[in-house]
Structure 1
Amino acid sequence: MATRTIEIDDEVFAFLQHHSEPLVDTPNDVLRRLLLADPAQRPATTPGRRPGDLMPFIKAGLLKPGDKLVHVQPRRGLTHEATVTPDGWIEIEDGREFSKPSPALKAQTGVDINGYGKYVLKDDNEVRLQDLRDRLRGEA
């Protein structure tokens, strides 16, 4: 398959980044998904984007869109918040969205951290995403 080079402005590039899975999708992957994919195969919640890893939790009633996830780094005096999106992604404070918890938490802390093990529900600091995942697996 032949490749072509195109120039895009910053606004279009930001749009492509918003609709991509970081470190997985290339700009071409995003354009192909948005422009050429069968519309019946696209998720209903966000056009051109596959559901995130938290979608099964939403469907099972264990999470809901808008739920806040928190990770506290006491020695650094930092608290990181993230929000569950309607399509099961995780939106961090700067507006970036991730399909998986660990890359989202890495973007917030700068180090590899198990997002399932470290994110907790804001209103219930005893419930980790891992606890919810264990419940989900137990119900399956």
Structure 2
Amino acid sequence: MSRFMRTIEVDDEVFAYLQSRSEPLVDTPNDVLRRELLGSVGRSAGAAGARRTGSLTPLIEAGLVSAGDVLQHHQSRLKRTHTATVTADGWIEIPDGQAFPQPSPALKAQTGSSINGWGQYTHVPSGRRLQELREKAAQ
């Protein structure tokens, strides 16, 4: 693979999309494009389609969360409820098919606002916030 970097220009809408699909302070725009277009993650990705494990993996490994479990956030003022599903590799998938390795970007994609997903998503089967489950898994 060539390491020669080329510069491309993208409009604001495309850049916003890249930002919505990235993990802040981890992904570069190139990482997002590589994942979206080629199905691989990062510069050291192995087989096509591979992606790193998501941040819910420790909760799955601790037996506190399972693949397919539903997460929920209710915006009482707006009378809206947002749901998401835990994937087998610890990512959060929202109903429109987007998947995120971290809860906060997933919740931002649903609400349009930066919200602490760890503190606001409730794990429906247990009725507990993700933050509480994360603290329990760390013990």
Q: TM-score range by the shorter chain?
A: 0.7 to 0.9
Do the aligned partners of residues 28 and 61 (structure 1) sit closer, same or farther apart at CA in structure 2, a change above 3 Å counting?
closer
Report whether the alignment pairs 1:2 with 2:27. Answer: no
Structure 2 counterpart of 1:113, one-letter code: I
2:67–2:88 contact (8 Å) kept in structure 1: yes
Measured against aligned partners, the alpha-carbon deviations of 1:75-125 in whole angstroms (never above 9, x if no partner) come to 100000000001100001111000000111111111111111110012333
Query: For residue 9 of structure 1, what is the aligned residue in structure 2?
Result: none
Distance 1:112 1:86 in 2: 25
Structure 1 counterpart of 2:138, one-letter code: R
Query: For residue 116 of structure 1, what is the aligned residue in structure 2?
Result: 118
Structure 1: gaps spanning 5 or more residues: 7-16
TM-score by length of 1: 0.72
1:21–1:99 contact (8 Å) kept in structure 2: no
Structure 2: gaps spanning 5 or more residues: 9-17
Report whether the alignment pairs 1:133 with 2:134. Answer: yes
Distance 1:36 1:50 in 2: 12
Identity of aligned residues (%): 45
Aligned to 1:132, what secondary structure does the other structure show?
Answer: helix
Structure 1 residues 1-140: aligned runs within 5 Å: 1-4=3-6, 21=22, 24-27=27-30, 30=34, 31=38, 33=40, 37=44, 39=46, 47-125=49-127, 127-138=128-139
Distance 1:104 1:59 in 2: 21
Distance 2:39 2:66 in 1: 30
Do the aligned partners of residues 47 and 94 (structure 1) sit closer, same or farther apart at CA in structure 2, a change above 3 Å counting?
same
Distance 2:122 2:65 in 1: 11
Aligned to 1:124, what secondary structure does the other structure show?
Answer: coil
Aligned to 1:87, what secondary structure does the other structure show?
Answer: coil
